[in-house]
Amino acid sequence: MQKIFAISLLFLSAAPAWAADPVGCEQFKWPVTKERALLTTPELPNLNSGVDAPTLPPLAATLALKPEADAGLPKPSERTQKPGTFAGFLRLGQIPAGSYAVSVSDSAWIDVLQDGNYLKPTDSSGVSGCNGIRKILKFDLAAGLATVQISDVATKTIKLAVTPSSD
């Protein structure tokens, strides 16, 4: 009985480590050099939530967010927001069909919408301890309009990049 208790205690003490993100830029599932370079570009353009992106991808900007209740997201986030967090969105123009990566500088929930529907990411990776980039999700987009929604952010701004993905 003591042996079972000791083993159970060992697993319980290790559980938080299973949930923790890997640490360091080299821990992303794939190279994020171009996305990180975009997000750390000095003097990124500042965009207000709800605007149309000024260019087609690749693009990067600092997105001004609003309190979640005031963000006016086109669709509610697929994730329940923590109290006191911020959210916002950016509309992409008539983009060509393809695979795109959406990267953010800080912890956030990312939803991508097309034709009023949530798209499921085809892949994702996130780490802590990598200056300039925290998370990256890949999506297959059809040609046309798309909206990137960012939510559950602790601060009033976030750096966001949208890039064509090579895979």
- Tens place of pLDDT for every residue, the chain, 167 residues? 554 444 443 334 444 444 577 899 999 999 999 999 999 999 999 999 999 999 999 999 999 999 999 999 999 998 888 999 999 999 999 999 999 999 999 999 999 999 999 999 999 999 999 999 999 999 999 999 999 999 999 999 999 999 999 76
On whether the CB atoms of residues 162 and 146 are closer than 8 A, the answer is no
DSSP secondary structure letters along 12-72: HHHHHHHHSPPBSGGGSSS--HHHHHHHT-TTPPEEETTPBPSSSSSEEEEEE-EEGGGS-
Q: What is the pTM of this model?
A: 0.85
CATH topology of domain 21-164: Jelly Rolls (2.60.120)
**Which 8-state DSSP code applies to residue 158?**
E
Q: Which long-range contacts (CB under 8 A, 24 or more apart) does 44-51 make?
A: 44/159, 46/157, 47/90, 48/88, 49/87, 49/88, 49/89, 49/90, 50/88, 50/89, 50/90, 50/91, 51/90, 51/91
Check residue 166 and give its pLDDT: 74
**Which 8-state DSSP code applies to residue 128?**
B
The radius of gyration of the chain's CA atoms, rounded to the nearest angstrom, is 18
Q: Which two tokens stand for residue 159?
A: 């750096």
Check residue 6 and give its pLDDT: 41
Check residue 19 and give its pLDDT: 54
